[in-house]
Structure 1
Amino acid sequence: MLRNWVIFNKVPTEQLIRVKHIHVFEGGRSALYVTSGDIVYGVGANGNYNLLGLSGRHRQFSLVLEPVSVERLSLKSINTIAVGDYFGVANNTNGELYHWGRRMDKRRGILLPHQVKCPYFVVDVACGSEFFIILTKEQKVFFRGTFQQNDHPILEFTEVSSGLSVSSISCGIFHAAMITTDGQVYNCGYDHHATYRSWKFEEGLIPKKLDLREPCTQVVCGRRSTVCLLTSGTVWACGENDNLGVESENSVMKHPSKVKILEPIRELAATWFSNIFAASTWGGRIYCWGYKTRWPAVIADACVLIDAFRNKETPSSLGLVPVAPQLSPCASFNAKTTYRRSDVNLISPEVVAKLERSLSANDLTTSHYSQDKEIVEQNNTDSNGQAESSASKASQQAQSTSKSSKNLPPGLGLLITAGNF
């Protein structure tokens, strides 16, 4: 799986086999990952705002060629990581919130990862360009930051769910989307219809309901668009028509339109940095569109949804993407390994042949089994009644042992006398 991103070629093999979760951002040029020992590492482009959250001299590096541990996020049981254009946020299993990068008030200075004083138990986070939202345990959504560079940032946690009971959240570059427990979708932020005129910042804090034909099960955000998966398995999209996959030439979709996919969809994923959309069907096919592809197309060699984002950023909707454990620390990590016969402790061909003979159909017949039993009893009687030389006794005992093994169920006697092979 990790071979899908070139950025992980810089990670040593002995460390790569311990990677447990990953989060790739900046178009695939940066990565944060968590190892099995709960140590967080950063590698790749660090930018001007220390997006990797590094400490010491590394925080001043714009490019980190080798993985460096993120000490202030390690051993914190990090659950979700989201990185925008200027800062990053994360939450852990204890509901704590962490922030790093540029200051929220836009003053000079770079912040190292630190715990934010938040009065809520945070279960999920999502990040736009200059803002982030949190989903609390009480199913409420709070906003912090600014939707546009010219707007004055909001430094206090401000509720944008307006009393709604929210189950999941997603962010675009300038807007956010949320889905309620009853399947309704709401947008907030910089006009999700992409009509940029006569927009006021205060309006962005008021959620606007999308007009959908049926309840929604999942919502994801592109750069300036919102894509919804309905209960029927159909996909609908609205916002800026930047390869949304809808049958319309309009540059802005003010109302949700159906995405051109002819089979039911199981799950969605999207990223706003590269504006990529992906969907998995119940039949196992993976569709991808956006970026440079207008219409949804099947990826022939894709097995799972994350395969649609090779060498690009990972979708925030997938959170920290889990990595399958590796079986061996081989040089060709995550590749198909060819085993030689000498590397595996195999049973010799002679033993296999004898096992096959012992489990043959002839050994399962009643007549064969009873004949062997009579022969064994007769040999035992003869051997006890005769007084012969020691050489003859030894020969008869060997014969008796060989035949008495057939007194056991087929195959078992062979295993017991395997030392005679």
Structure 2
Amino acid sequence: MWRRSRGKVLTWGRGNSGQLGHGDMDCLLSPKIVMSLESYCITQVSAGWSHSGFVSDGSGNLLYGFGSGKRGQLGISIDRIKSVNAPEIIRGFDDVQIITITANADHNAALSADGELYTWGRGFGATSDFLSPQQSPSSLKFSKVALGWNHALVLSDNGEVFMLGGCHHGMLSNPEITTLSKHLSDGAVLERVPGLDGIKVVDIAAGAEHSAIVTEEGVIKIWGWGEHGQLGLGSSRDESSPKTVSLGVEVERKNGTVRVYCGSGYTYAISTFCS
């Protein structure tokens, strides 16, 4: 999936659930413009396992979704929908300005201009699926959200990291915690990541079942599923608490920035320096 600078959206690849948005269930071997989005200025796109989401700029600041909807990840109806093959408006954002949407597996998350967190689709942990967007009741304001297959990381404006989800492979840092801090509307929980007291975080990322953060000092900390070496700690062990990754190079933190990105079973970092 790709968005041109003027807001046009092109999709290609697997389309068996309608996730390409061309009004059919066909696969495409080359990019094709999503004509039903032609009249909108699309500012952001997101792609899950078999569904897609979009944010449009301008009047109403609308969100659209298409593809598989069996877990409620489209957010377009109060009923479960197998799939749709053309964009439909995501419900529940009539009076909300959404600035970012992200998808992974069978769920979505979005942040409003006011820093409010919304989630929908497959539930986190033992919670049921959300068929429409649910707002976190937390009084915190958030600046970034990252989704894994079964979990989410959320970064607050003051540099704290919170999480949603189960405890597969220790990806959420502390599987022993049973009393959790901040609750979503139907029982999902927003829990502060332990072991980061006094540390300001500036970036987050989530893989399939592992998590990574970057501190204000440019240090990468990582935890969760490690089978493929994606934790970068010199082994294939799972880790249940944040561990510092040695990049093997000297990082000039005074004038540089470090960003981290997670694939399903791999991780990469980018160091940028200003002279």
Query: Structure 2-normalised TM-score?
Result: 0.78
Report the identity percentage. 17
The one-letter code of the counterpart of 2:191 is K
C-alpha distance in 1 between matches for 2:261 and 2:40: 27
Aligned residue in 1 for 2:189: 206
The one-letter code of the counterpart of 1:257 is K
> Is 1:177 equivalent to 2:153 in the alignment?
yes
> Could you tell me how far 1:272 is from its partner in structure 2?
3.5
The one-letter code of the counterpart of 1:89 is G
Measured at CA, do residues 179 and 102 of structure 1 come closer, stay the same or move farther in structure 2, by a change above 3 Å? same
> Could you tell me how far 1:101 is from its partner in structure 2?
0.8
Quick check: 2:123–2:130 contact (8 Å CA) kept in 1? Answer: no
* Partner secondary structure for residue 98 of structure 1: strand
Aligned residue in 1 for 2:269: 279
Q: For 1:99-178, what aligned pairs fall within 5 Å after superposition?
A: 99-103=65-69, 104=72, 105-117=79-91, 118-119=93-94, 120-147=96-123, 152-160=128-136, 162-178=138-154
Quick check: 2:8–2:38 contact (8 Å CA) kept in 1? Answer: yes
Instruction: Tell me which of 220, 227, 233 is aligned to 1:246.
Output: 233
Aligned residue in 2 for 1:40: 9
Measured at CA, do residues 145 and 36 of structure 1 come closer, stay the same or move farther in structure 2, by a change above 3 Å? closer
> Could you tell me how far 1:198 is from its partner in structure 2?
11
The one-letter code of the counterpart of 1:96 is L
C-alpha distance in 2 between matches for 1:225 and 1:218: 15
> Is 1:68 equivalent to 2:53 in the alignment?
no
Aligned residue in 1 for 2:261: 270
The one-letter code of the counterpart of 1:235 is I
Measured at CA, do residues 151 and 72 of structure 1 come closer, stay the same or move farther in structure 2, by a change above 3 Å? farther
Larger strand fraction of residues: 2
> Could you tell me how far 1:245 is from its partner in structure 2?
0.8
> Could you tell me how far 1:113 is from its partner in structure 2?
0.8
C-alpha distance in 1 between matches for 2:50 and 2:176: 25
> Could you tell me how far 1:169 is from its partner in structure 2?
1.1
Unaligned runs of 5+ in 2: 73-78
Instruction: Tell me which of 221, 224, 232 is aligned to 1:236.
Output: 221
Give CA-to-partner distance per residue, 1:49-87, whole Å, 9 cap, x none: 1221112xxx221x2123322112223211111111131
C-alpha distance in 2 between matches for 1:109 and 1:125: 20
Quick check: 1:140–1:165 contact (8 Å CA) kept in 2? Answer: yes
> Could you tell me how far 1:283 is from its partner in structure 2?
4.6
Query: Structure 1-normalised TM-score?
Result: 0.52
C-alpha distance in 2 between matches for 1:228 and 1:148: 20
C-alpha distance in 2 between matches for 1:65 and 1:217: 38
Instruction: Tell me which of 49, 71, 82 is aligned to 2:17.
Output: 49
Measured at CA, do residues 185 and 149 of structure 1 come closer, stay the same or move farther in structure 2, by a change above 3 Å? closer
C-alpha distance in 2 between matches for 1:76 and 1:36: 12
Quick check: 1:49–1:87 contact (8 Å CA) kept in 2? Answer: yes
> Could you tell me how far 1:133 is from its partner in structure 2?
0.7
Aligned residue in 2 for 1:223: 208
> Is 1:261 equivalent to 2:225 in the alignment?
no
* Partner secondary structure for residue 207 of structure 1: strand
Larger helix fraction of residues: 1
C-alpha distance in 2 between matches for 1:71 and 1:158: 30
Measured at CA, do residues 39 and 158 of structure 1 come closer, stay the same or move farther in structure 2, by a change above 3 Å? closer
Measured at CA, do residues 164 and 148 of structure 1 come closer, stay the same or move farther in structure 2, by a change above 3 Å? closer
* Partner secondary structure for residue 72 of structure 1: helix
> Radius of gyration: which is bigger?
1
How many residue pairs end up in the alignment? 245
Quick check: 1:179–1:185 contact (8 Å CA) kept in 2? Answer: yes
> Could you tell me how far 1:194 is from its partner in structure 2?
4.1
Measured at CA, do residues 168 and 64 of structure 1 come closer, stay the same or move farther in structure 2, by a change above 3 Å? same
Structure 1 vs Structure 2 CA RMSD: 3.0
* Partner secondary structure for residue 217 of structure 2: coil
* Partner secondary structure for residue 39 of structure 2: coil
Quick check: 1:247–1:260 contact (8 Å CA) kept in 2? Answer: no
> Could you tell me how far 1:161 is from its partner in structure 2?
6.1
> Could you tell me how far 1:226 is from its partner in structure 2?
1.2
The one-letter code of the counterpart of 1:100 is F
Aligned residue in 1 for 2:75: none
Measured at CA, do residues 37 and 248 of structure 1 come closer, stay the same or move farther in structure 2, by a change above 3 Å? closer
Measured at CA, do residues 43 and 86 of structure 1 come closer, stay the same or move farther in structure 2, by a change above 3 Å? closer
C-alpha distance in 1 between matches for 2:232 and 2:145: 22
Q: For 1:355-394, what aligned pairs fall within 5 Å after superposition?
A: none
